[in-house]
Amino acid sequence: RVIVSDVQGTTRDAIDTPFKFNDKEYMIIDTAGIRKRGKIYENIEKYSILRAQSAIERANVVLVLIDGELGIREQDKHVAGLAHEAGKGVIIVYNKWDTVEKDDKTMNKITKEIRAHFKYLDYAPIAFVSAKTGSKVNQLIPLIDTVHDYCTMRIATNVLNDVILDAQMMNPPKPHNGRQLKILYSSQVAVEPPTFVLFVNDPELFHFSYKRYLENKLREAFGFVGTPLHIMVRKK
């Protein structure tokens, strides 16, 4: 069904593989391998990148694979960025864990390294697996289910407004030019990713740092593991 190899660029097309696990149906989209741009010699390689981007668009949850032997590459960041910008659920999968020389501090060290390189994916869980030995691969499906549940989660409007109100009371927005931001009403308008609209007195007063603060409060209250959150502001 799928030809695989350690040689980069073996997979030229995105292959769809349907399967059933615990009476639930899934579809794996095995993306075409993406090489560094400087190593793209053939037109078919350029086409592979487009196919991989298309696969990301079609997916509900994107597993960003890091090769444990090669470490984190710029191309990994590029692919992860595409998934993040597309608003997809993301899991970072560190493969070939069996080849890594490790002690009791190795996993923590690599986790910190991943977080440093993928700062915008601080919401994404990290799984350490070995495709070759099968180690911890069985943990991926429950993790995928969890991330997808959070991607499709809807929050009741009254509960959402309570959380936003509490957040404002705990840390009021700082005044700007003598005026202060007031969030008057909040509503969730979409899922995949969860998208929220805040109706405010003046959108110009809504600073990026306060948006980040509210996002953290929403994650504290509801989890939202593995999913980006979109917060938009509108004038009341």
- The CATH number for 218's domain is 3.30.300.20
Q: Give the pLDDT of residue 73.
A: 86
Spatial distance between the Cα atoms of 143 and 225, rounded to a whole number of angstroms: 10
Domain C-terminal end among 120, 151, 182: 151
Residue with tokens 């007195």: 201
2 assigned to some structural domain: no
Same domain, 25 and 134: yes
pTM (2 d.p.): 0.88
Domain that holds residue 144: 15-151
Q: What is the mean pLDDT of residues 124-146?
A: 95
Q: Helix, strand or coil for residue 176?
A: strand
Look at residue 95 and tell me whether its pLDDT is greater than 60: yes
Same domain, 58 and 132: yes
Same domain, 193 and 80: no
Q: What percent of the chain has pLDDT over 70?
A: 88
Same domain, 208 and 187: yes
In degrees, to the nearest 5, what angle opens at C-alpha 88 toward C-alphas 116 and 111? 25
Q: Give the pLDDT of residue 46.
A: 65
126-128/183-190 β-pairing: unpaired
Same domain, 187 and 137: no
Same domain, 24 and 125: yes
Same domain, 112 and 222: no
Same domain, 139 and 27: yes
Look at residue 12 and tell me whether its pLDDT is greater than 80: no
141 assigned to some structural domain: yes
Q: Give the pLDDT of residue 42.
A: 55
Same domain, 116 and 204: no
Look at residue 21 and tell me whether its pLDDT is greater than 80: yes
Same domain, 20 and 117: yes
107 assigned to some structural domain: yes
Number of domains in the chain: 2
Residue with tokens 């668009």: 57
